[in-house]
Structure 1
Amino acid sequence: MTRPATPSWLRQQERSNLAILRLMVWISLTFGRAIGRVVLYGITAYYVLFAPRARHFSREYLHRALGRWAEWSDGFRHVFSFASTIHDRIYLLNDRFDLFDIEVIGADPVHELAAAQTGAVLIGAHLGSFEVLRAVGRGRAGLKVAMLMYEENARKINATLEAINPAATQDIISLGRMESMLEARDKLDQGYLVGILADRSLSDDPTVDCEFLGEMAPFPVGPFRLAAMLRRPVFFMTGLYLGGNHYRIHFEALADFTDTPRSERDAAIRAAQQHYADRLSHYCRLAPYNWFNFFDFWQKK
């Protein structure tokens, strides 16, 4: 187990994410989705041309996911997919489900836990759109979703989105506070699905190396330790962007810490992390332009 230096994704402070988000808010509300998607091509070209570090790390990831040399067009598709999910977030937050074709796979066990007021932990990644799940949850009775986020990112995103739909901020739990786990437990006791992304860490988060896309890479322990302490079933979740207005949400059972003895917890967490990395590898290969990695994830530099 290691404690890495401040990761490059945090040093970059999600610059591209927030910049694209703010611009897309204005374009989307002013001109609508069709015009906004035209503008996305210009925004994507700008980032591909003038963000050389992001372009380099995008190509390194795509080489692994595609199993071949990544061309310039692959990098463009990667950034365009990223921008598209951010653009669509504006409409999803405003319950404009009529604009989208959303398919859901493997949700029956999750619905059963929600209906029984048991709740479950959803562990995802920066893969596709987590917002599409939260949006679908708001539109379906009995499926409520709360999101655990790093406090600084939650503050920035909430500040940007509050002008669009203030209700969208109410189901976000900020990480890094003593009350975070208690708030998550309370949500679970109310039948919520509590989601957290587990493919990035803060500087003081312990990590372990897992095999991912054919090579060892560091993954944070915190999300899995939290799930184990909450003693809940854990599902891998991703909302893949398939182009146009199409999304496909996948749920897969990942682990169940409900009855895990304390003496076996560390081994169960380690097994769950590798299972998570395996499923993330699978979906990165299935939909390679969906994992929004624009930094040195394998820490080779």
Structure 2
Amino acid sequence: MSAVTVTIAAEHPALAGHFPGAPILPGVLLLDEMLRAVEQERSCAGMRWRIGAAKFVKPVRPGETLTLEHEPLPNGSIAFRIASAGQAVAHGVLVPAIAPTGPHDARGAAVPAGPRVSAAQWADAPERGSATLLRIMIFLSLRLGRPVARCLLHLIAAYFFAFAPGARRSSRQYLRRALGREPGARDRYRQVFAFASTILDRLYLMRERYGLFAISIEGEELMRDTVARGSGAFLLGAHLGSFEIMSAVGRRQPGLRVAMAMYEHNASRVAAFFRAGNRVSAPEIIALGQLGAMLRIRDCLDAGKFVGMLADRTIAAAPAQLVSFLGRAALFPSGPMRAAAALRRPVIFMTGLYRGGNHYHVVFRQIADFSRPEPAGREAAVRDAVARYVALLEAHCRSDPYNWFNFYDFWHGADGGETASARGVIGVPRDHP
């Protein structure tokens, strides 16, 4: 529990218009003081908060000294209590600041973007790359084959590397944490080229040219057993490696069917080009954020299918959890885990790590099994499952650092030399390699 002491100044803006010395309800005055106290904490540096809920018990007077206490909650929010001379004044909850038009402070004044706003920029970012260049690349890839296309791929990677300064900054920020050293231009280009390689390979995977790839699988028995049970499961990935490699894995696992649940905000034109180039198969897509999405997810699970989601990006007001990731607090969506808990299904972590050339290493690890009753309760089970997901994600970011394809400010302006504060952040368990 952290605590600070403040004295209500008679000239505080919230007192304007009140009779001098008269008691007032805390209201906006205390909300502002609480926000200032929280944002001054090192563990909350670079973050903005808003009031999620508050109850005011007694009025206060100018010159009165108050004690403001706050402590982190497992879901990433912060509980606060305000007292005067041992008597309760107010209590409530702070949540990370998010709003469609930007976060605001207690009085409604605009403040800098909070962590979720920054993290959700990917959803509205225009896809990068020339439409003509992509069409040429698809044409040449299908006509000349993968070896020639990979030679041309350096042009695409060089274009992205040269004309995406924001992506370069984000790449440096991430690689500094994953590598534990200052990354050079070669490191950053290697990450971009790995990303371009998986995009190219997506085209061949969508056309079922699986013979082009050498694929090793870790956790194949887990998937075989889950398929055999026939009740479906959630398959959680990330923008780490290739999720599309699942289509090739499905050929080795009879009965393995995957429906992808996703937001179709980002890279819509690029996705359209790949759909245009695909004449063999198209994945089943469940559009999140639309009416009936949960019913479709349930129907797919009841049919024995896996429901795949990428669970490393937050969006808008969707539920999220603050977790330590690569040494600093980051927001991760808790919605996928909550859906799995509500539908009582197991959750399996999946990543298809690109290892260079034509080699992919696919990993399956069970994160949680919500089909079994949780003694600690659903909320605690969801929190633990999100933490285990992030632990696995962090482990693979360290073992295969160039597979991370989130080219935006993932930590909301975190300085690479800054170490994380564990206060107020759900730690990453270390029992997952």
Report the TM-score range of the alignment, normalised by the length of the smaller protein.
Answer: over 0.9
RMSD: 2.3
Cα shift at 1:140: 3.8
1:67 aligns with 2:180: yes
Q: Is the 8 A contact 1:212 1:277 kept in 2?
A: yes
Q: How does 1:54-203 map to 2 (within 5 A)?
A: 54-138=167-251, 140-153=253-266, 156=269, 159-165=272-278, 168-203=281-316
1:251 aligned partner: 364
Q: Distance in 2 between matches of 1:160 and 1:138?
A: 25
1:53 aligns with 2:166: yes
Give the direction of change, closer, same or farther, for the CA distance of 1:17–1:74 in structure 2 (3 Å limit).
farther
1:265 aligns with 2:343: no
Tell me which of 319, 325, 332 is aligned to 1:212.
325
TM-score normalised per structure 1: 0.92
- What letter corresponds to residue 5 of structure 1 in structure 2? V
Report the more deviating stretch, 270-279 or 24-33. Answer: 24-33
1:40 aligned partner: 153
Cα shift at 1:158: 5.2
Q: Distance in 2 between matches of 1:92 and 1:277?
A: 27
User: Aligned to 1:209, what secondary structure does the other structure show?
Assistant: strand
- What letter corresponds to residue 333 of structure 2 in structure 1? P
Q: Is the 8 A contact 2:207 2:280 kept in 1?
A: no
Report the more deviating stretch, 240-249 or 196-205. Answer: 196-205
Q: Distance in 1 between matches of 2:135 and 2:317?
A: 29
Q: Is the 8 A contact 1:154 1:172 kept in 2?
A: no
Cα shift at 1:16: 5.3
- What letter corresponds to residue 318 of structure 2 in structure 1? D
User: Aligned to 2:396, what secondary structure does the other structure show?
Assistant: helix
User: Aligned to 1:69, what secondary structure does the other structure show?
Assistant: coil
CA deviation vs aligned residue, 1:157-216 (integer Å, no higher than 9, x gap) = 653233233553341111111211111111111221111001002222232210101111
1:27 aligns with 2:136: no
Q: Distance in 2 between matches of 1:54 and 1:155?
A: 19
Q: Distance in 2 between matches of 1:128 and 1:217?
A: 20
Q: Distance in 2 between matches of 1:154 and 1:47?
A: 14
Tell me which of 102, 124, 128 is aligned to 1:11.
124
Give the direction of change, closer, same or farther, for the CA distance of 1:248–1:127 in structure 2 (3 Å limit).
same
Q: Distance in 2 between matches of 1:279 and 1:17?
A: 35
User: Aligned to 2:117, what secondary structure does the other structure show?
Assistant: coil
Unaligned segments of structure 2, at least 5 residues: 1-76, 78-95, 99-115, 415-433
User: Aligned to 2:349, what secondary structure does the other structure show?
Assistant: strand
Higher relative contact order (CA 8 A, sep 6+): 1
Unaligned segments of structure 1, at least 5 residues: none
- What letter corresponds to residue 38 of structure 1 in structure 2? C
Cα shift at 1:9: 1.5
Identity of aligned residues (%): 48
Tell me which of 323, 340, 344 is aligned to 1:231.
344
Q: Is the 8 A contact 1:162 1:168 kept in 2?
A: no
Q: Distance in 2 between matches of 1:34 and 1:170?
A: 26
Q: Distance in 1 between matches of 2:243 and 2:347?
A: 16
Cα shift at 1:110: 1.8
1:284 aligned partner: 397
Cα shift at 1:111: 1.6
- What letter corresponds to residue 117 of structure 2 in structure 1? A
Give the direction of change, closer, same or farther, for the CA distance of 1:181–1:157 in structure 2 (3 Å limit).
farther
Report the more deviating stretch, 21-30 or 44-53. Answer: 21-30
Q: Distance in 2 between matches of 1:13 and 1:273?
A: 29
Q: Is the 8 A contact 1:40 1:83 kept in 2?
A: yes
2:409 aligned partner: 296
Give the direction of change, closer, same or farther, for the CA distance of 1:99–1:166 in structure 2 (3 Å limit).
closer
CA deviation vs aligned residue, 1:78-116 (integer Å, no higher than 9, x gap) = 000000000001111111111000011112122212122
Cα shift at 1:222: 1.3
TM-score normalised per structure 2: 0.65
Cα shift at 1:291: 0.8
User: Aligned to 2:277, what secondary structure does the other structure show?
Assistant: coil
Q: Distance in 2 between matches of 1:174 and 1:18?
A: 24
Q: Is the 8 A contact 1:224 1:272 kept in 2?
A: yes
User: Aligned to 1:70, what secondary structure does the other structure show?
Assistant: coil
- What letter corresponds to residue 225 of structure 2 in structure 1? E
Cα shift at 1:261: 5.6
Q: Is the 8 A contact 1:158 1:169 kept in 2?
A: no
Q: Distance in 2 between matches of 1:51 and 1:154?
A: 15
More helix by share: 1
CA deviation vs aligned residue, 1:242-288 (integer Å, no higher than 9, x gap) = 00000010001101111336981111111111111111000000100
Cα shift at 1:50: 1.5
